[in-house]
Each structure stands twice: as structure tokens, then as C-alpha cells.
């Protein structure tokens, strides 16, 4: 059963998404919706299509068919530059291994999205340091990613994802590479920070412990999505 | 440590080189291609002796002139050969007319029978050329119908233009120019080649060192492709209990496998290149695939040296790396590189070269070992200095836009990788600068003035077969592109009809022609003049006394009989002041108008027609028209273009070799640099995708990649200029030529290096754009 039609007031919605990589069908009619300030966990086993769903929702990968609307605007009609601009200004990202730029210092990494938006270096690093303080990693500002632990690096990545004040935060297995203690701390900081800025969080995970931080869960299996809250 | 254990570790490393799915294969492939390109060039070098020997053997086998002083009498086994070489659009065409004198006349190599009169055998390249449009003028020059093709054994290159044509009119031309009777083809005198003078030997050594050092450096660089992934694999092995020594041996095994794959690829590239060789011509030199037989000893050396280098380079690169179970720790870390030991190599190079300063030509021979190793040490010193220079320079950089910041930070973190990428280019450019300086310095020694002024006349036609120049001059005047002609003839006279003494030159021409040689106040037909450059010894003065009787074209004992025309010098001999820009140099006798000479002397005249071209007719059209006209009138005539200087053939050959080699090395460096660039981009695929995912503009990342290449290359070229100028200066001191920097050469060499990097960056852009797709984040 596919996800139902988008509820009123949704910030980001997707309907009947289909995506195949060659013969492999990743999404087969998946749907999704999220409200501002809401945390939605996308769950499912490995290879079920949850990361593909996240990539489609974030405009990283165009779906083969289906509709994705962000703030009332159809993303399929946007060109690559417009989608890039959207990702730069409206979206934030956290990946499983942080994907910090190894040669930049932590503060430079956090400041990077602001600098890409044209903010001056000084201004960007000042804002970045503020976010690093909130995520309790300000002491790592001058270190490079290779010199910090996995948990610290992931918190730096969370700071980077929030530094532009995104309206939607996409987190793909943000604690996948961390131990449970570090994972929980990262999730606490991530969800608190997102809620404080009223950002919606799309959280891809296969861990129930992580999904517990969400307001709602969607399960993806064989490329189809199912809203668990409604199923209950 | 048992050999079995060693073998086991190396074998495991070999397996790692090829496993790892598509990633593993791509890495192995890139290493194979990188090393393979170097190996192919090394094999090409190993084939150089075979190329030179085979070309020399073919050249010797078709030799059709003898050094013998005794005339060969006509017989059943003799043949008369006339040289009718011509030039088509600056390319030489070797032409031979053949007239057999009996059934057993020898056959030149490459053809199965002698062509009859009106028939012609042509080389495959000439056949191709004749089939192409716009060659009608060349076809007009060639005397016959094509009946066959000259085989490989009769040619010295696949693209050589040559023909053998049959003739029945050669016997009367014997003794006129290049017409000779022979009884065999081939060089029977086995004249060994003269040893090279010390400066030319130095140039040859330098060319080899300068061309091969970058190749060796690239082979060493290519085996380090995929180093980061290798380190991660080794860390995983350590995690499951493998000790540090084993990890290193496994790494060595991996490098060994990559280099062996590179050897296989290299042989493949070499063989594929050999098949293509027949269609390639570089600087007028072409070869047949058969010529490319590497010397077994040199090929074995390549086969052993490449894997050994791979293993040594890998072990050297791991010398300060501790592979720990949880990752790789570089003990050098971000610590600063030290300069002192990096200076040792270039200083050692200078030390080895210093004792040879001032030797030059005439100052004794250079020690080839000291030269080779001295130059090698200086050039390889660049590879030691460059990482230090890049680290120091980029360490001070900061600020700027995001693309600049990304690039600078990357360089600060891994300046070694960046330096490695440009090492080859830097070494090649440094060597080329030094060589260019040396060439520029010694150029004057090997380039001599011809004394000819191309502004006075552009073409000289030396007639051979024609008895008088009249027909040729008439034909030339009717030819498109000819503005004016001047005809001058030459003979000599002596005191007796047969003489062993020196004779005196007579230049013959009408008054206008003589005025092209000297300033003559009054001139009428029948006049004769003594040149201001005439010999002034008593015997010569006596011979040039007015009214004196002499013999024009006297015979020399043992030689072909001359005209022996009795001539009484005119009662009055005018004075002719030789012009500085005379059409002929060395005017050492009389200048005479035609009717002043007896008619019997005329057959002895050797005539030249000087042609002034019409500037309205474009070149080389005018020259080609003239060559065609001349050949139709006098098949043996020689048409030469006036040039103010001419170069020593050997010096020219070495310079040509340098350019051909430099072209091959630069192509290799460009290709290897591209492979290395692609490998680096591939390793950062995921990071590039994630940067794009959060909205980084492609332009920003593209500029960042450009900066990452441009900064080290700028530093590399700066260092290359410094080392190149130093080495060039030392080499000039060694050859005792005045120190002078040929800035245009220095800047053009540096520019070539920069252009290669720019080209490589542009060529890698499509791959970069592909890798920057955000779907690169997908891992399933």
C-alpha cells in the first residue's frame, strides 16, 4: 500500500515515486510527506530503497516518475541549478560517515555551506563557531576531520547541516558509524537543534533506537513506503 | 624469514591488486596503463639500436656509387645509374634511373626485376602520394608508368618517397654529375662511422638522460596509484593479526603485480604502436614495424628494472608509515619537510659536473659516466626538492574564495601527492631548458654560413645533362613564378693540354651576368676580366697574362679526357672588382663573356641558372613549377634553394632526435598525468558527490581542481627553470661556450609544460563533471 495523498500543511511531499537503477527497482510507487518541525524516520532493511527515497526527496537524484513538491513547488520542473540552490539554502545534510572535507579544519567545514552562499569568510566562521558550541564541538574548531573521533566528526557534520538554517534536514544513517552512546548524543543534539529552528528532519535509519527520536515512522520495503502511524 | 613466507605474502599482495570488484580492477587497470606507457617508451628506446642498424643496413645495401678510383668498364654485369633526386613540398624524393648493360646487371634491393625504359617502381608512400590530388606536377617529373612497388629492403623508412625508373639514355651522360657505372649495389668498403666529437657525445648523452628520466619518474609514480585504498586494506589486515613486516611485503606484492601488469600492457602498447609505426613520420623519419626489435639485453633490463623499481618505491613510500590495526599513521604526519638532505642530490650532481668545466672541443673528452650521473643527480634532485618547495609555498597561502580555499587546504594536507604529480613535467622541462641552452650555445659551432644571400636569388639550378643552358633558360622564363634568371658557367684552364698543376677558374656569362659577380665599368661581348680575387702567385699571374696561350679544360692523367681547347687570352684583360654579394663565392680567376672563349671550349662549361622568384606567386608552388620545368629539360639537373646557413648533419640529427624524443616523452607525460589525475578524482568520488549534494556549485569544484593542479605546476616549473638554467649554465661552461640564456627557448619550454597541464586538466573535466553527480552517493 502506498503512502496516502499529502496532508494539508506539508512542507515536502512525494507521490508515486518510481526509480530504477538498470534492472534494479529502488522505488516502486513510494510516497512521503513531512510538516515543518516534524521528525520523520524512514526505516527499512538494507537495499529497501530508503536512501534512494531520501536522495529523491532532496533533489539529489531525479525520480523516473512521480511528483515531489517542496513548499508547494514541483521539484521535477526545477533545473539542476535551481535544485542545487535549494539544497544550498533550504536543505541540510548529514551522511553516515560525515563526509567532511578532510583538508579543511572543522570550523571551515561547518562554514562551507555559508561560504558557498556568498557569506564572507569571517562572518561564516563566526556563525559556524556558534553552531559548533551548540553541538559541543567548538574546541575542535582548528582540528582537521582526520584528527577527531567519529562521534565528534558526526557532530561537526550536524553543525554543518544546520548552519544555513535549513527548513529540511536530511540525515542518512547519521549514527550508523557510531557506538550507541555517541549515537544517542548525536541524535539528541540533532533533533533538539532541528526542533529549536523548526526544521523538518528526514531521518533514514534501520535502527529502532534511532527512529525513537522521530515523531513519525515510514517503512520502506521493496521500493514502496508505508506510514506506520496511520497503520496503527 | 622463509622464502616460502615471502612468496606467500607477495602472492597475497598480488591477489589484492586485482580483487575488490570493479574498484579493484579499475585501480589495477590505471596502474597497468600508467606503468605500461612508460614501459612502451623504454622498449622503444631499447629498440633504438635496431632501428638505427636496420636503417643503416638498408641504406648501405642500396648504395649505388663506388669509392673506387678505377673506372668500371661496360660489361654484361654492369648497370648505369643516374641520381635524379627531387623535392616535393620540402620532402625529399629519392630517384634513380637505371640502364642495365647486360643480362647479369645487378638488381637494387626491393625490386624483383629491372624496370624497362618508361617503367617505374615506386615506394608505397610515393604511390599513395601520386594517387592523392594536387600532385600533377610531381607526376610530370617522374619518368614512367608505375609497374611495381619497391619492397621494404629497398627503403629506409615506410614513408620514404623513392622510385627506380628504367632508361636507355644514360650511357652518354656518364661522367656528368651523378651518373655512374657500377657492377653491384651495396657498400663493400665497410667504412666505420667516425666517432662523435666530445660536444656531440655530450649532447647525445644529455638527450637520453633528459628524455628517459621523466619516464622513469612516471613509472615510479604510476605504481603508487590507489595508495590510500591500499593503506586501508593493510590496516584491515593488521586488525586480523598480520604483523607490520607482513603488511609491507603484501604492499610490495601488490606493487609488483601492478608493475607486472604494466609490463604486459607496455608490451601490448609497444606491439600495437609497432603496427602503427609504418604510418607515422616524425621529422622526416619513418620506420617499418620490423625495425622495432628491442635489444634483448635492454629489454631484459626493462623487464627486471620496472618491477624492482615498483617494489622499492612502495617500500620507500611506506618507510615513515606505521600501519596500525585501526588505520594508517603517517609518522611524518604534518611535520615539516627538511631541506638539507634534499639539496644533497643536486649538489652532488654539480660536484660531478664541475671537473669537466672548460673541456669543450679540443679540451679533452668528457667522462660519460660523470656526465650521465651528474645530470641525472641534478634532475632527480628536483623530485626531492619539489615536495619541500610545494609544502613551504602552500603553507603560507590562505584566504581567497571557496575554490581557492579547498585547493590550498588540500595541498597543505597532501603536498607530496601534488608534487609527485608534477615531478615528471618539472624534470622534463628542466632537462629541456638545459638542452635548449646548450644547443643554442653550440649552434654557431655546427651551423656555418653558406655565403649565399637569399635576397639576391632564391633558387640555383645546376645543369648536368644539358650541353648548353639555353633550352633550360628559355623554359624557365616561360614558367610561372620566375621573375628573372642569370646564367653563369664555369670551366678552367691550364698551361698545357694535359697537366698535373693547378688550373685557373673561368667564369663565363654575358655582361649582365658578370655584373652579378663583380663591378665592371665597361663590358662588351668578347671582353674578359681578371677578378680582384684572382690568385696572385707568379705562376697564376703568368697564366693570366693578356695574349698568353692556354688550354681550356685540360686533362688530368688517369681521368676522363677534357676538352683541351687551345685559347689565346684577349690582348686586353679588364679589371673586375668582386661584389661582396656576388652570386658566386671564390672568384679566383677570369670573368669572361661567352664569345671570348673558343667554341671548342663550350662543351666543358658547367652551367648554373640563378632564378629570382616572382613574389606574387605563392611558395612552394613557384618552386614546384620550376623543379618540374627543369627536370623536363635536364633530368640530372639539381635545383637547390638558397639558404644563408647550413647545419652539420650529425648535429641536425641529434637535434631532430631530441625533438622526436621530446614529443614522445611529452605525450607520455600528458597521458600519465591524465591517468594520475583521474585516479585522484576517482578516490574522491564520494566526497565530491556529498559536496554537490549540499549545493556546491560545479564551477567551484572545477576551479578547485584547476588550482590544485596549477599551484604545484607553477612551483614545479619555477624549480624546473632554476635547475634547468643552472644545468644549462654548467653544460655551457663545460663546452666552453659563452654563457647566454636563450630566454625565448626557456619560456617556450616552460610554456609547453604549462600547456600540457592545462590540456590534462581540460581532458579530465568530463570525468570530474561525471564524478560530481550527486548520485555518486549511492553505494548499493
- Interatomic CA distance for residues B429 and B439, integer angstroms: 15
Q: Which residues contact B533 (CB under 8 A, 6 or more apart)?
A: B578, B586, B587, B588
Q: Which three cell numbers stand for residue B682?
A: 576517482
Task: Using DSSP, state whether B497 is helix, strand or coil.
Answer: coil
Task: Using DSSP, state whether B536 is helix, strand or coil.
Answer: coil
pLDDT, tens digit (0-9, with 9 covering 90-100), for A10-22:
899 999 999 988 8
Highest averaged pLDDT of the listed ranges A98-102, B68-72, B186-190: A98-102
Q: Which residues contact B378 (CB under 8 A, 6 or more apart)?
A: B345, B346, B349, B350, B353, B430, B723, B726, B727
Q: Based on the structure, what is the number of domains in chain A? A: 1
Residue B694 to residue A91, Cβ atoms within 8 A: yes
Residue A136, domain member (yes or no): no
Of the given ranges (A117-121, B28-32, B611-615, B637-641), which has the lowest mean pLDDT?
B28-32
For range B660-689, the mean pLDDT? 76
What phi and psi values does residue B237 have, to the nearest 5 degrees? -65, -40
Residue A105, domain member (yes or no): no
Q: For residue B695, give the nearest of A46, A87, A101 by CB distance.
A: A87
- Residue B746's H or E segment, with its range, is helix B743-771
> How many Cβ atoms from other residues are within 10 Å of residue B238's Cβ?
20
Q: For residue B695, give the nearest of A55, A88, A95 by CB distance.
A: A88
pLDDT, tens digit (0-9, with 9 covering 90-100), for B189-216:
655 555 666 777 777 777 777 777 877 7
Q: For residue A103, give the nearest of B410, B690, B695 by CB distance.
A: B410
- Give the residues across from B518 on adjacent strands: B578
Q: Which residues contact A40 (CB under 8 A, 6 or more apart)?
A: A32, A34, A200, A201, A202, A203, A214, A215, A216, A217, A218
Q: Which of B306, B284, B141 is nearest to B221 (CA)?
A: B306
Q: Which residues contact B140 (CB under 8 A, 6 or more apart)?
A: B628, B631, B632
For range A63-87, the mean pLDDT? 87
Q: Which residues contact B639 (CB under 8 A, 6 or more apart)?
A: B86, B87, B459, B460, B461, B462, B623, B626, B627, B630
With 0-12 / 13-18 / 19 or more C-beta atoms within 10 angstroms meaning exposed / middle / buried, residue B316 is exposed
Of the given ranges (A38-52, A186-200, B122-136, B466-480), which has the lowest mean pLDDT?
B466-480
pLDDT of B510: 92
Residue B687 to residue A93, Cβ atoms within 8 A: no
Q: Which of B308, B302, B315, B303 is nearest to B252 (CA)?
A: B315
- Interatomic CA distance for residues B301 and B446, integer angstroms: 35
What domain range includes position A208?
Answer: 1-90+168-174+198-232
Q: Could you tell me the sign of the dihedral formed by the alpha carbons of B350, B355, B358, B360, in that order? A: negative
Q: For residue A116, give the chain B residue with the closest CA.
A: B696
Q: Which of B116, B102, B118, B93 is nearest to B181 (CA)?
A: B102
Mean pLDDT score of chain B, rounded to an integer? 82
Q: Which of B381, B380, B384 is nearest to B337 (CA)?
A: B384
Q: For residue A104, give the nearest of B409, B694, B774 by CB distance.
A: B409
Of the given ranges (A172-176, B279-283, B314-318, B392-396), which has the lowest mean pLDDT?
B279-283
Residue B776 to chain A, least CA–CA distance (Å): 10
Tell how strand A168-172 and strand A91-94 pair up: parallel
More confident residue, B757 or B379: B379
> How many Cβ atoms from other residues are within 10 Å of residue B415's Cβ?
24
Q: What is the CATH number of the domain that holds A38?
A: 3.40.50.300
Those residues of chain A whose CB sits closer than 8 Å to some CB in chain B are 21, 24, 26, 46-47, 51-52, 55, 58, 60-61, 84-89, 91-93, 95, 99, 101-105, 108, 112-113, 115-116, 121, 144, 160-161, 172
Q: Which three cell numbers stand for residue B444?
A: 654557431
Residue A120, domain member (yes or no): no
Residue A35 to chain B, least CA–CA distance (Å): 21
pLDDT of B217: 77
More confident residue, B515 or B499: B515
With contacts defined as CB-CB under 8 Å, which chain B residues touch A55?
A: 774-775, 777-778
Residue B123 to chain A, least CA–CA distance (Å): 55
Residues of chain A with pLDDT > 70, as a percent, come to 94
Q: Which of B715, B767, B33 is nearest to B418 (CA)?
A: B715
pLDDT of B209: 79
- Owner of C-alpha cell 616524425: B282
pLDDT, tens digit (0-9, with 9 covering 90-100), for A93-141:
888 776 788 778 899 889 988 887 788 889 999 999 999 998 889 999 9
Contact B572, B546 (CB under 8 A): yes
Contact B223, B31 (CB under 8 A): yes
pLDDT, tens digit (0-9, with 9 covering 90-100), for B522-543:
999 999 999 888 888 888 888 8
**Alpha helices (runs of H) in B397-519, residue ranges in sequence order:** 402-413, 415-446, 470-477, 511-515
Q: Is the pLDDT of residue B332 over 60?
A: no
Residue A37, domain member (yes or no): yes
Q: Which residues contact B376 (CB under 8 A, 6 or more apart)?
A: B209, B213, B349
With contacts defined as CB-CB under 8 Å, which chain A residues touch B700?
A: 116
Q: Which three cell numbers stand for residue B588?
A: 679566383
- Residue A228's H or E segment, with its range, is helix A228-231
Q: Is the pLDDT of residue B363 over 60?
A: no
Residue A147, domain member (yes or no): no
Task: Using DSSP, state whether B729 is helix, strand or coil.
Answer: helix
pLDDT of B778: 60
Q: Which residues contact A68 (CB under 8 A, 6 or more apart)?
A: A12, A13, A14, A17, A56, A57, A59, A74, A75, A76
Residue A170 to chain B, least CA–CA distance (Å): 10
Q: For residue A115, give the nearest of B402, B410, B687 by CB distance.
A: B402
- Interatomic CA distance for residues B47 and B54, integer angstroms: 11
The DSSP call for residue B376 is H
> How many Cβ atoms from other residues are within 10 Å of residue B340's Cβ?
6
Residue A180, domain member (yes or no): no
- Give the residues across from B323 on adjacent strands: B328
With 0-12 / 13-18 / 19 or more C-beta atoms within 10 angstroms meaning exposed / middle / buried, residue B333 is exposed
- Residue B148's H or E segment, with its range, is strand B145-149
Residue A114, domain member (yes or no): no
The DSSP call for residue A143 is S
Residue B406 to residue A21, Cβ atoms within 8 A: no
pTM of the model: 0.64
Which of A103, A116, A146 is most worth mutating to test chain B (most B CB atoms within 10 A of its CB)? A103
The DSSP call for residue B342 is H
Q: Is the pLDDT of residue A4 over 90?
A: no
- Interatomic CA distance for residues B343 and B338, integer angstroms: 10
Q: Which three cell numbers stand for residue B251?
A: 604492499
Angle, CA B305 vertex, CA B372 and CA B272 arms, to 5°: 100
Q: Is the pLDDT of residue B14 over 60?
A: yes
Q: Is the pLDDT of residue A6 over 60?
A: no
Q: For residue A99, give the nearest of B405, B406, B687 by CB distance.
A: B687
Peptide bond into B620 cis (omega under 30): yes
Residue B419 to chain A, least CA–CA distance (Å): 16
Q: CA separation (Å) from B747 to B271, B378, B432, B514, B744? A: 36, 20, 11, 48, 5
Size of interface A-B (CB pairs under 8 A): 83
pLDDT of B499: 78
Residue A227, domain member (yes or no): yes
Amino acid at each position: 500500500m502506498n503512502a496516502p495523498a499529502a496532508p494539508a500543511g506539508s512542507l515536502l511531499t512525494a507521490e508515486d515515486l518510481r526509480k530504477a537503477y538498470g534492472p534494479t527497482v529502488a522505488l516502486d510507487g513510494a510516497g512521503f510527506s513531512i510538516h515543518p518541525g516534524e521528525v520523520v524516520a524512514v526505516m527499512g532493511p538494507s537495499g529497501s530503497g530508503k536512501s534512494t527515497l531520501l536522495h529523491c526527496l532532496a533533489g539529489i537524484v531525479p525520480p523516473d516518475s512521480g511528483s515531489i513538491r517542496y513548499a508547494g513547488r514541483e521539484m521535477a520542473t526545477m533545473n539542476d541549478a535551481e535544485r542545487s540552490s535549494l539544497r544550498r539554502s533550504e536543505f541540510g545534510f548529514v551522511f553516515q560517515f560525515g563526509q567532511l572535507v578532510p583538508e579543511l579544519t572543522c570550523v571551515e567545514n561547518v562554514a562551507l555551506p555559508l561560504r558557498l552562499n556568498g557569506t564572507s569568510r569571517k562572518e561564516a566562521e563566526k556563525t559556524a563557531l556558534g553552531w559548533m558550541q551548540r553541538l559541543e564541538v567548538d574546541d575542535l574548531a582548528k582540528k582537521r576531520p582526520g584528527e577527531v573521533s567519529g562521534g565528534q566528526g558526526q557532530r561537526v557534520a550536524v553543525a554543518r547541516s544546520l548552519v544555513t538554517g535549513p527548513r529540511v534536514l536530511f540525515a542518512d544513517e547519521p549514527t550508523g558509524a557510531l557506538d550507541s552512546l555517541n549515537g544517542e548524543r548525536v541524535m539528541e543534539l540533532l533533533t533538539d537543534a532541528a526542533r529549536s529552528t523548526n526544521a523538518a528532519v528526514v531521518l533514514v535509519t534501520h535502527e529502532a533506537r534511532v527512529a525513537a527520536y522521530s515523531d513519525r515512522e515510514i517503512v520502506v520495503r521493496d521500493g514502496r513506503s508505508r506510514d506506520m502511524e496511520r497503520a496503527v | 624469514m622463509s622464502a616460502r613466507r615471502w612468496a606467500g605474502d607477495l602472492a597475497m599482495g598480488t591477489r589484492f591488486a586485482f580483487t575488490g570488484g570493479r574498484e579493484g580492477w579499475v585501480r589495477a587497470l590505471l596502474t597497468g596503463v600508467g606503468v605500461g606507457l612508460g614501459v612502451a617508451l623504454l622498449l622503444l628506446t631499447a629498440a633504438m639500436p635496431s632501428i638505427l642498424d636496420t636503417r643503416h643496413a638498408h641504406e648501405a645495401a642500396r648504395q649505388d656509387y663506388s669509392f673506387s678510383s678505377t673506372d668500371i668498364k661496360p660489361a654484361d654485369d654492369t648497370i648505369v645509374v643516374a641520381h635524379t633526386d627531387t623535392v616535393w613540398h620540402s620532402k625529399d624524393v629519392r630517384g634513380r634511373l637505371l640502364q642495365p648493360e647486360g643480362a647479369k646487371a645487378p638488381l637494387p634491393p626491393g625490386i624483383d626485376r629491372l624496370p624497362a625504359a618508361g617503367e617505374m617502381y615506386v615506394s608505397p608512400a610515393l604511390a599513395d602520394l601520386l594517387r592523392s590530388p594536387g600532385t600533377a606536377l610531381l607526376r610530370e617529373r617522374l619518368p614512367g608508368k608505375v609497374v611495381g612497388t619497391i619492397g621494404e629492403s629497398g627503403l629506409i623508412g615506410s614513408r620514404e618517397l623513392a622510385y627506380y625508373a628504367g632508361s636507355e639514355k644514360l650511357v652518354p651522360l656518364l661522367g656528368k654529375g651523378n651518373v655512374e657505372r657500377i657492377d653491384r649495389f651495396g657498400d663493400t668498403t665497410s667504412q666505420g662511422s667516425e666517432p662523435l666529437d666530445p660536444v656531440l657525445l655530450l649532447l647525445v648523452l644529455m638527450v637520453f638522460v633528459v628524455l628517459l628520466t621523466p619516464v622513469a619518474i612516471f613509472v615510479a609514480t604510476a605504481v603508487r596509484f590507489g595508495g590510500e585504498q591500499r593503506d586501508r586494506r593493510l590496516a584491515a589486515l593488521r586488525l586480523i593479526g598480520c604483523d607490520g613486516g607482513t603488511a609491507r611485503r603484501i604492499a610490495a606484492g601488490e606493487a609488483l603485480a601492478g608493475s607486472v601488469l604494466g609490463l604486459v600492457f607496455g608490451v601490448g602498447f609497444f606491439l600495437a604502436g609497432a603496427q602503427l609505426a609504418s604510418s607515422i613520420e616524425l621529422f622526416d623519419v619513418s620506420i617499418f614495424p620490423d625495425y622495432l626489435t628491442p635489444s634483448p639485453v635492454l629489454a631484459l633490463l626493462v623487464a627486471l628494472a620496472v618491477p624492482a623499481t615498483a617494489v622499492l618505491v612502495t617500500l620507500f613510500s611506506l618507510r615513515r608509515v606505521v600501519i596500525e590495526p585501526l588505520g594508517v599513521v603517517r609518522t611524518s604526519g604534518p611535520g615539516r619537510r627538511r631541506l638539507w638532505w634534499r639539496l644533497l642530490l643536486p649538489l652532488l650532481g654539480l660536484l660531478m659536473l664541475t671537473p669537466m668545466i672548460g673541456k669543450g672541443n679540443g679540451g679533452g673528452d668528457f667522462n660519460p659516466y660523470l656526465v650521465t650521473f651528474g645530470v641525472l643527480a641534478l634532475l632527480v634532485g628536483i623530485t626531492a626538492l619539489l615536495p619541500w618547495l610545494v609544502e613551504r609555498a602552500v603553507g603560507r597561502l590562505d584566504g581567497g574564495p571557496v575554490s581557492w580555499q579547498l585547493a590550498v587546504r588540500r595541498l597543505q594536507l597532501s603536498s607530496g601527492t601534488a608534487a609527485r604529480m608534477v615531478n615528471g613535467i618539472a624534470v622534463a622541462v628542466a632537462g629541456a631548458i638545459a638542452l635548449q641552452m646548450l644547443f643554442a650555445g653550440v649552434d654557431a659551432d655546427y651551423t656555418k654560413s653558406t655565403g649565399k644571400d637569399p635576397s639576391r636569388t632564391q633558387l640555383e639550378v645546376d645543369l648536368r645533362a644539358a650541353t648548353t643552358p639555353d633550352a633550360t633558360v628559355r623554359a624557365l622564363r616561360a614558367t610561372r613564378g620566375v621573375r628573372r634568371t642569370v646564367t653563369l658557367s664555369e670551366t678552367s684552364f691550364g698551361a698545357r693540354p694535359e697537366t698535373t698543376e693547378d688550373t685557373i677558374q673561368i667564369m663565363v656569362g654575358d655582361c649582365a651576368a658578370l655584373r652579378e659577380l663583380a663591378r665592371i665599368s665597361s663590358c662588351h661581348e668578347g671582353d674578359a676580366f681578371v677578378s680582384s680575387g684572382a690568385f696572385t702567385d707568379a705562376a697564376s699571374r703568368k697564366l693570366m697574362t693578356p695574349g698568353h696561350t692556354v688550354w681550356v679544360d685540360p686533362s688530368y692523367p688517369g681521368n676522363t679526357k677534357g676538352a683541351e681547347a687551345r685559347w689565346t687570352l684577349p690582348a686586353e684583360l679588364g679589371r673586375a672588382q668582386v661584389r661582396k654579394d656576388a652570386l658566386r663565392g671564390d672568384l679566383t680567376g677570369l670573368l669572361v663573356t661567352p664569345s671570348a672563349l673558343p667554341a671548342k671550349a663550350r662543351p666543358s662549361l658547367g652551367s648554373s641558372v640563378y632564378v629570382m622568384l616572382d613574389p606574387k606567386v605563392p611558395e612552394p608552388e613557384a618552386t614546384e613549377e620550376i623543379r618540374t620545368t627543369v627536370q623536363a629539360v635536364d633530368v640530372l639537373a639539381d635545383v637547390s634553394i638558397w639558404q644563408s646557413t647550413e647545419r652539420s648533419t650529425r648535429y641536425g640529427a641529434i637535434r631532430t632526435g631530441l625533438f622526436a624524443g621530446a614529443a614522445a616523452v611529452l605525450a607520455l607525460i600528458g597521458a600519465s598525468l591524465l591517468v594520475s589525475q583521474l585516479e585522484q578524482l576517482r578516490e574522491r568520488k564520494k566526497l565530491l558527490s556529498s559536496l554537490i549534494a549540499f549545493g556546491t556549485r560545479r564551477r567551484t569544484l572545477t576551479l578547485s581542481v584547476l588550482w590544485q593542479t596549477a599551484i604545484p605546476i607553477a612551483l614545479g616549473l619555477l624549480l624546473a627553470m632554476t635547475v634547468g638554467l643552472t644545468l644549462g649554465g654548467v653544460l655551457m661552461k663545460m663546452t666552453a661556450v659563452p654563457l647566454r640564456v636563450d630566454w625565448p627557448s626557456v619560456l617556450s619550454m616552460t610554456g609547453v609544460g604549462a600547456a600540457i597541464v592545462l590540456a590534462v586538466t581540460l581532458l579530465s573535466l568530463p570525468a570530474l563533471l561525471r564524478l560530481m553527480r550527486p548520485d555518486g552517493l549511492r553505494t548499493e
